[in-house]
Chain A
Amino acid sequence: MAVTEAPADLIVTGLTWQSRLAALLRRYLPAILILPSGLILWELGVRLFNIQGFLLPAPSEIAQTFGESWVGLLDRGWYTFQEAWWGYLIGCGLGILIGLLVSRFATISAALMPIAIAVNAVPIIALSPLVRVWFGLGQPSKIVIVAILCFFPCLISTVRGLSVAAPAAVELMRSYATPELEVFVKLRLPSALPFIFNGLKVCTSLSMIGAVVGEFYGGLLNKSLGTFIANEASQVRFRSSWSGIIVACAFGIAFYLLVGLCERLLIPWHVSVRSQAD
């Protein structure tokens, strides 16, 4: 690169892959070390204090049970994840869409936002027994729960995001006599994306919670993960319950990472993303 007068505070781009790997290791090594240490402490604690298996099984025991049953659990996990996924798509999609409308039309905003904020404070999961009555034991009732759960965080972060464009940035557009739609596309929407992605990431975990907990209140016993976890626990088979929880965690984390990856690809310029890249 033919940089002639690079200032001292110019960030050096074009790192080699070795230095990138080293930087990644430095960043994540503590976390990588903490996880096994925690598991070892857990194992030792259970053995030393002779904790009964129905209270807290040792990780090694859970691992053994998990090893025997993971194929079937993955099927259940996939079934439950589908509920989370469709509910997420519907809830987040509607949340973002309504958020765009709310930001565009002040009257809709005045009518809707106070209600939205109030409803957001309601523990929506408490509706699940009723939603089960309305939509049955199958997947639709959980999709509805997840959609409601995801709707409000996405709505609120979209509305918030669309209001953050700096006043001077808006004035700059005004100085060019920019049409309103173009101000939206070139300024307001890009400024809002980091906020929208925040909402989308929060909703990944919300959607798995909604789907699993929704199943606690009634789901198909032979198919879903939530009924499995609840049922095994009620039958005092805690190791198997824990195995189910591991699968739920795995799907939740994978979902979060997937959305995080989309974020990095779509808004590589944002401060939250770029600080990890260098």
Chain B
Amino acid sequence: MTDTAPIVSIQNVSKLFGSASAAGQTHALSRVSLDVAPGEFVSLLGPSGCGKSTLLRLVADLIEPSDGQILIRNKSPRQARLDREYGIVFQSPVLYDWRDVLHNVELPLEVMRFPPAERDRRAREMLQLVGLKDFERHYPWQLSGGMQQRVSIARALSFKPAILLMDEPFGALDEMTRERMNAELLNIWSQTDTTVIFVTHSIAEAVFLSSRVVVMTPRPGRIEKIVTIDLPQPRNLETREQPHYFELITAVREGLREV
């Protein structure tokens, strides 16, 4: 893993929120460093307030760091955003109610000026990938929460970005749906060569999905420990029953406890 150049490199990044007066400031992130290799699935795990979402939003150039540097394919996050290097999935699906499923998936392709035939072909391909090919003409409100989030994933992948950023994408789903979505996400990840950075507060989810779990702790937000998950691929329901799976969960949980 170390012999390839990182696709995302986070170097000594700090983020302060609030006014300049010391009393009103929140230290969301304090000197965080992390390298992500191409093709990796990295989870940022921690309790609320540990800065995991902040870190993701810094990579996405939705906010700017107070200190330190982030490089994405050796470019600034801003340049990476302008070059459409990443797709993003939020906790809520953020689908546009006035577009049917197919046209929601086509939204980024429209913005990026793909020709109509190509838009159509790619959107259908992505909907096939997330198992929604019979729902092209449905509107978002006609779908369940899990299906809506699958549309949102199809949309994020439609322009084949190198990086997929996911901010607690399954946080609003029930446990059963979440486990099914986890398996589907791994399946999608194995079929594409996308690098995934995945924010979650679920230990089980992070261990099941990731090649590495980055354990973060709050006040100030920093990286406590990085656990390499050496469970074999492909992972499925049986993975969740292996003793090694539980050992890894314990290792991650201890990382969280060492605060």
Contact = CB atoms under 8 A, between A and B. Distances in A.
A166 B96 CA distance: 10
Interface in B61-115: 62, 81-82, 84, 86-88, 90, 92, 94, 96-98, 107-108, 110-112
Contact of A187 (B81, B84, B96, B108): B96
User: Looking at chain B, what size class is its interface with the partner chain?
Assistant: 20 to 34
Nearest to B145: A9
B143 interface: yes
A176 interface: yes
10 contacts: A2-B134, A10-B142, A11-B141, A13-B142, A169-B94, A172-B94, A176-B107, A176-B108, A177-B82, A269-B139
Interface of B: 60, 62, 81-82, 84, 86-88, 90, 92, 94, 96-98, 107-108, 110-112, 134, 138-139, 141-144, 147
A269 B108 contact: no
B96 A175 contact: no
Of B84, B98, B138, most A-chain CB atoms within 10 Å: B98
- At the interface, is chain A mostly helix, strand, loop or mixed? loop
A168 B88 CA distance: 11
B144 A166 contact: no
A190 interface: yes
Contacts of B84: 176-177
B196 to A, nearest CB: 15
Interface string A150-180: 0000000000000000101101111111100
User: Looking at chain A, what size class is its interface with the partner chain?
Assistant: 20 to 34
A31 B146 CA distance: 39
A219 to B, nearest CB: 43
A199 to B, nearest CB: 19
A21 interface: no
Contacts of B110: 186
Given A182-B111, A269-B97, A269-B139, A175 B144 contact: no
A4 B134 contact: yes
